[in-house]
Structure 1
Amino acid sequence: MTDATTDATTDATAPARRHPDTARIHAFRDDSLGYDDATALAERVREGEVSPTELVEAAIERCAQVDPALGALVFTDFDRAREHARRTADSHLSSPFAGVPSAFKDAVQVEGAPMRLGSPAVPDSPALHDGDYARAFRATGLIPLGITAMPPFGWTAATERQGGLVTRNPWNTGRTSGGSSGGSAALVAAGALPIAHANDGGGSIRIPAAVTGLVGFKPSRGRHTDEKFSRGMPIPIVSQSVVSRSVRDTATFLTAFEASHLPVGVPPVGPVAPAPARRLRIGLVEQSPAGGATDAATLAVLRETAVRLAGLGHEVVPTEAPVPTGFRDDFIAYWGLLALSTSLSGRRLFDPDFDPAELDPFTIGLARMARRNIASLPLHLLRLARTRRQFDARFGDLDVYINPVVAHETPEVGYLDADLPFETHLERVSNWVTFTPLQNIAGSPAVSLPTGHAPDGMPVGVHFSARRGQDRLLLELASEYEAAHPFARIWE
């Protein structure tokens, strides 16, 4: 065994490392799996410094150390991952992430695993084969170890499910890991995995990344293959991507994915330069589109990020969010329509044995809200379609917007509990998650970068967004920022 993973595999029972703040937990160690990003790990595999089997075994042990405290995995397939690693070691290692361990979120069809979308209403029947997305994901060379947790159907921004099942934040296990990709984010932030699948229908990549100190990039619409259940949406809003610890990992993943799935309606990402070719004009948005207050700690990080961008030579100008009047109500109404469709058509969309009696209170509440307001739904959809068409024009002479990812600091576990009364849950989530849904409707790219911390030590993300198709520009700006101001890590 090489030095790259010796420390990772000598003691399978080693406890997870705790920060002096005993609520912080992680599995980082002084070895390559601990400190290298996924791109560097793949390079070590290609150079023969470490084998895929060694990396997979190290990741399995790390998951075993931290997951009892985090609750991030809902299904494991370690034996298949080991076999995949052995096959990778015996084959050509040309894939960008060949031999690097990862995981799928509970929102894609994966052979041998159930896809339950975080809900007991969906039976735990294993899929007979990989879906289109899982096949393209594996083609990048990543080796999934299992399936990560999400809240029921991804409607909310904390990974908390019925029966008190909670995914906790490794920076403070009393806080939420965000949602809906909270399971993936928790494992990557804790050092169990270097990169993991995530998807986003209203902020579900960007919010967990923001609260766990990761890079969370939502690609432009058309840059990925959809799962079957999302293809019939009146307005497509779901994007597939990853959460990672470096911008280059996300950029490499998006470029690698294009090798098996050409984007539709947007240019390929292609090679990402270390910085944009020109200095950009960046709009600084502080005010929540919903009109509520943004807390002081979040604003402080946003303003410091703006100062740093100006220090890199970009022009930063205060402005307002490019959000039309009534957008929040329109999006909530659309969320309700999708929940109603889930409750009525779950047997067709997900599984013949789908059981509506097992739906959670928030899904039921959204569906009932949609029924009550069914007459107004066409108007909401019309306005959302108009927002989608007009979004790019709202940039004017700006290249990028920056704003908070969420409106206040990371809540405690239970703030968005799955069993909360519907009205309480809706008010809390819609006040916290006010900035991210716009890009889902517009189909434009956006990224959360971990640019600072609150006084209590929790990560605070800043949200960067651009016009549809400008993914490369956004990644280049993110790369430049990361190089100038490296992101803090949980062990520091």
Structure 2
Amino acid sequence: MTDATPASTSASQTDWPRRSVLKAGAVAVGGGLLGRFADARAAGLSDSDYQGLDAWAMSEAIRSGELQAADLLAAALARCQAVNPKVKAVNMLHEDYARALLAQRRVAGTETQGTLAGVPVLIKDLNTYLQGTSTSNGCRLFKDAPPAERTSTLISRYERAGAIPFGKTTSPEFGLTTTTESMLWGQTCNPWNLAMSAGGSSGGSAAAVAAGIVPVAHATDGGGSIRIPASYCGLVGLKPSRYRTPSGPGHFEGSFGASVANVVSRSLRDTALFLDAGQGRELGSAYWSPPLLRSYVEELQREPGKLRVAVVRQSLTGAPLEPAIAATLEQTIKQLLALGHEVEELKLNIDPRQLFGAHGTVLGTALRTAIRDREQVLGRAATAQDLEKVTLVNLQRAQATTGEELYRARQSFETVGATMEQQFERFDVILSPVTASLTPQLGLLTLDQPWDSYAHHAMGSAGFTVLANVSGQPAISLPLGQSDNGLPVGMMFTARLGGEDGLLRLASQLEQDRPWVARRAVL
């Protein structure tokens, strides 16, 4: 597949200063970076050693010759076999695909090339494709979907940078909720507490990273689906600006740009590394984000300067903050002040009815289109045996949507986006919680329940996140707190359109000040 070359895919990572690496508690050390793995080829990479590596360290070990990509793939598969029965994060294994890719690189002599050389990754099983494999979208209607003819552009970029996709992660049906539970694949558990949800809709990806199956997993975000699972699972989750990463081939935006793709990761440098590899205009697309001045990895080494930070405390759904989330917000404000930033309270001038109405109209129309396309292939209409209760309600509502309503929803996207951009004339970033409530117990919020119950339980999870999907701005969830019972708590920072660089500079400062990489779920 032909594709435009991603802009600014960064300088060699081996030249990157290790200041934040060491402070973050990674295993990398200068001079013989991973020398203790010298016997890995003969003895195999142990699970504990594998767990100690983020994607950046893995790739450097591959390029230095201290590990081979086959070692990392074997360790990832072994870890998956050991813990996936507990967390149920990986629903499809594509080991044959991964090994064929390794064999091709061996023949071509490119095994050690690329900034992601040899890094095993997982792909979210939602609107994302790997040639020769199926994508189910978490839905029984797509259970027997034919293998994809092409690989998604973003995944192709990861592969060209050296990554090795070897499986897919669970998603709720069509990504319609903030937990990952489906009639098709069951319940995905939070590695921090197996009775709790991993969040959604990228809950499988977040659970796989938190459980140590991979250091980084592909994720998508149409209403908070990167940031919410990252918050619930103690990870970094960056939703890029609208059009920063590609959505093709075949279409160039998801839900009028509300849905974008990136990754969830343990370390901030892994997030930057994958965004460098994936970002940039796609050939044929009429949309793209501003070009980069520097690679995102380089941005991590730059000081953020003194920032004007706005604090938003009130969820747009009106859900009150649970005590652990309110306490983490106060702790984060104190940390920002101690680092020299200015902090000011802000009440957003956003009409929740306009915001959620437009978002629902657009995502509902996208859902209707996906189901209609599948019905045409199958030659029959979808039934209650194919779709879950909440999905059926969404479909019925979407069937009544007029062209005028869809056009006005698109106008609302622009209105909300302009209103938010005006805030960044006064402020550099906006701080808020990711969610108003902690991760729910499994079974509390599903798509197989009455609409009113679903809507009630969803209020605490998406009241902060949907705004950036409608407005298009980048937003990042950082693992900055924990509840009294040990559940992670994320805080969210939002920046102006194209402002991922500023978010990463601030996030790097926060990570260095209070490192989080060493905090791990224990299965």
TM over 0.5: yes
1:264 aligns with 2:288: yes
Deviation sequence 1:153-200 (CA, Å, 0-9, x none) = 111111110157111111111000111111111111111111111111
1:454 and 1:394 map into 2 onto residues whose CA distance is 31
Q: Structure 2 matches for 1:24-103, cutoff 5 A? A: 29-31=47-49, 33-88=50-105, 90-91=109-110, 93-103=112-122
Could you give the per-residue CA deviations for residues 247-278 of structure 1, whole angstroms, max 9, x where no partner exists? 11111111122479588232226231324342
Q: Which deviates the most, 52-61 or 89-98?
A: 89-98
Map 1:379-458; keep pairs closer than 5 Å: 379-458=408-487
Tell me how far apart the structure 1 counterparts of residues 240 and 380 of structure 2 sit (CA, whole Å): 31
Letter in 2 for 1:284: V
| Aligned counterpart in structure 2 of residue 469 of structure 1, from 489, 498, 506 | 498
Offset at residue 318 of structure 1 (A): 1.6
TM-superposed CA distance for 1:426, in Å, is 2.2
> Are the aligned partners of 2:72 and 2:120 in contact in 1 as well (CA < 8 Å)?
yes
TM-score where L is the length of structure 2: 0.84
What is the CA–CA distance in structure 1 between the aligned matches of 2:101 and 2:379, rounded to whole Å? 31
Q: What is residue 489 of structure 1 aligned with on the other side?
A: 519
Match of 1:113 among 133, 142, 147: 133
Q: Secondary structure at the match of 2:37?
A: coil
- Residue 393 of structure 1 aligns to which amino acid in structure 2? Q
- Show CA shifts across 1:186-232 (max 9, x none): 11111111111111111111111110011001111121111457647
Structure 1 residue 120: Cα displacement: 1.2
Residues 210 and 521 of structure 2 are in contact (CA less than 8 Å); yes or no, is this contact kept in structure 1?
no
SS at match of 1:41: helix
How far off its partner does 1:484 sit? 1.0
Secondary structure (helix, strand or coil) at the match of 1:146 reads: strand
State the shift of 1:466 in Å: 0.2
1:256-302 per-position Cα deviation (integer Å, ceiling 9, x unaligned): 22479588232226231324342111111111122221111111111
Alpha-carbon contact 1:220-1:468 (below 8 Å) kept: yes
Q: What is the rounded CA distance, in whole Å, between the counterparts of 1:336 and 1:400 in structure 2?
A: 30
In structure 1, list runs of 5 or more residues that go unmatched.
13-27
> Which residue in the other structure is 1:479 paired with?
508
Give secondary structure in 1 for the equivalent of 2:458: helix
Q: Measure the CA separation in 2 of the matches of 1:298 and 1:5.
A: 44
- Confirm or deny: 8 A CA contact 1:444 1:466 kept in the other structure: yes
Secondary structure, in 3 states, of the residue corresponding to 1:342? helix
Residue 382 of structure 2 aligns to which amino acid in structure 1? Answer: P
2:54, 2:267 within 8 Å by CA — same for their partners in 1?
yes
Matched residue of 2:414: which SS? helix
After TM superposition, the score normalised by the length of structure 1 is 0.89
Quote the Cα distance in structure 2 between the aligned partners of 1:8 and 1:299: 48
Q: 1:229 to 1:418 in 2, by over 3 A?
A: farther
250-259 or 208-217, which moves further after superposition? Answer: 250-259
- 1:232–1:345: structure 2 CA closer, same or farther, 3 Å change rule? farther
Letter in 1 for 2:183: Q
Cα drift, residue 416 of structure 1: 1.5
User: What CA deviation, in whole Å up to 9, does each residue of 1:339-391 have, x standing for no partner?
Assistant: 3333334446xx55686221221111112233456575554443233112332
How many angstroms apart in 1 are the aligned matches of 2:389 and 2:251?
22
Are residue 223 (structure 1) and residue 251 (structure 2) matched? no
Tell me how far apart the structure 1 counterparts of residues 367 and 459 of structure 2 sit (CA, whole Å).
16
Partner SS, residue 64 of structure 1: helix
How do 1:278-317 and structure 2 match up within 5 A? 278-317=305-344
- How far apart are 1:336 and its partner, in Å? 2.9
Q: Aligned residue for 2:193?
A: 172
Aligned residue type for 2:387: L
Distance 1:144 1:114 in 2: 14
Check conservation: 2:115, 2:273, Cα contact below 8 A.
yes
Distance 1:130 1:321, change over 3 A: same
Instruction: Return the alpha-carbon distance in structure 1 between the equivalents of residues 491 and 316 of structure 2.
Output: 15
Given the superposition, is the C-alpha separation of residues 10 and 119 from structure 1 closer, same or farther in structure 2, using an over 3 Å criterion? farther
Rate the CA distance shift 1:437–1:5 in 2: closer, same or farther, 3 A: farther
Deviation at 1:30, TM superposition (A): 3.3
Identical-residue share of aligned pairs (%): 33
- Describe the shift of the 1:92–1:148 C-alpha distance in structure 2 as closer, same or farther (beyond 3 A): closer
Residue 321 (structure 1) shift? 3.5
Deviation at 1:35, TM superposition (A): 1.4
- What is the CA-CA distance between 1:456 and the residue it aligns to? 1.0
Cα distance in 2 between the residues matched to 1:232 and 1:264 = 10
- Residue by residue over 1:38-76, the C-alpha shift from the partner in whole angstroms, topping out at 9 and shown as x without a partner, is 001111111111111101100000000011111111211
| Runs of 4+ displaced beyond 6 Å | 5-12
**Which range moved further: 77-86 or 209-218?**
77-86
What does residue 251 of structure 1 align with?
A: 272
Amino acid at match of 1:313: G
Partner of 2:15: none
What letter is aligned with 2:37? A
* Residues 9, 440 of structure 1: alpha-carbon distance in 2 compared, 3 angstrom cutoff: farther
Secondary structure of the structure 2 residue equivalent to 1:282: strand
- Taking a change above 3 Å as real, the CA distance of residues 389 and 260 of structure 1, as seen in their structure-2 partners, is closer
CA separation in 2, counterparts of 1:282 and 1:10?
Answer: 51
What secondary structure is seen at the aligned counterpart in 2 of 1:30? helix
Check 1:396–1:100 CA distance in 2 against 1; reply closer, same or farther (3 A cut): same
Q: Residues 73 and 277 from structure 1, CA distance in 2 versus in 1: closer, same or farther, beyond 3 angstroms? A: closer
User: Is 2:41–2:67's contact at 8 Å kept on the other side of the alignment?
Assistant: no
Pairwise CA RMSD: 2.7
Paired amino acid for 1:204: S
Counterpart in the other structure of 1:157: 178
Spell out, residue by residue over 1:111-142, the C-alpha distance to the aligned partner (whole angstroms, 9 max, x if none): 12101111111233211332323212211211
* Runs of 5+ consecutive residues of structure 2 not aligned to the other structure: 1-33
